[in-house]
Amino acid sequence: MESCCQMPVNESSIMTNCPVCHLKGKRVPLITLKSLLKPTSLETINHEECYAFCSNPSCEVVYFSHSKTFSKDMLKVRVYQKDEGLDVPVCYCFNWTRERIIEAMQDNERPTDHIREQVQAGRCGCEVNNPQGSCCLGNVAAFMKTVNTNHTPNTNECFFHKKKKATPSTYRLHD
Ligand SMILES: [Zn+2]
């Protein structure tokens, strides 16, 4: 997958598995926590520790280190991987929420093309905007696939009715 943010890797000092759900986490730069934690939580970080991101949707933990965990209510933003809301961003830098992606796709636009243009123009800031601390393009592409699969054309006819509402069953516009 494409990536727009570089981060130093020092695997030896990283706690790799989430202490709550035990799934493997992914290293995040400290600047991501500094940017996205609420002040009371930010006051508890240790700049000498390494932090990782837990992407498990059913786990409350967003960041963890050897000594500490930060749950999703400790962040200033809602976390895409842990919040199914349609108004939650998939791309945080350019505010592509689930809803906006679905709407763009209904208009036959490709959000990933828009995001790629911004990335190529050097405008993205995933490490300070996106809780996962890295590029969102993989998430956007994966989300677009879930929208497409629910839009399954059984016949060729549907394929040509591009304006047909593509409300996906997994992401209903109204609950
Ligand atoms: Zn976890």
Centroid of ligand 1 to alpha carbon of 164 (angstroms): 38
Query: Rounded to an integer, what distance in angstroms lies between the CA atom of residue 142 and that of residue 153?
Result: 19
Centroid of ligand 1 to alpha carbon of 79 (angstroms): 13
Query: Rounded to an integer, what distance in angstroms lies between the CA atom of residue 135 and that of residue 153?
Result: 31
Contact 127/29 with Cβ under 8 angstroms? yes
Poorest-pLDDT segment among 20-24, 123-127, 145-149, 164-168: 164-168
Chain mean pLDDT for the chain = 84
pLDDT digits (tens, 9 = 90+) for 98-148: 999 999 999 999 999 999 999 999 999 999 999 999 999 999 999 999 996
DSSP label of 147: H
pLDDT of residue 150: 52
Report whether pLDDT(159) > 50.
no
Strand 89-91 relative to strand 69-71, pairing: unpaired
Centroid of ligand 1 to alpha carbon of 53 (angstroms): 8
pLDDT of residue 163: 44
Give the residue from 15, 13, 28 showing the smallest Cα distance to 131: 28
Contact 174/167 with Cβ under 8 angstroms? no
Domain boundaries, the chain: 11-74, 84-160
pLDDT digits (tens, 9 = 90+) for 89-107: 999 999 999 999 999 999 9
Contact 144/151 with Cβ under 8 angstroms? no
pLDDT of residue 13: 53
Centroid of ligand 1 to alpha carbon of 43 (angstroms): 22
Q: According to the CATH classification, is domain 11-74 in 3.40.228.10?
A: no
Report whether pLDDT(10) > 80.
no
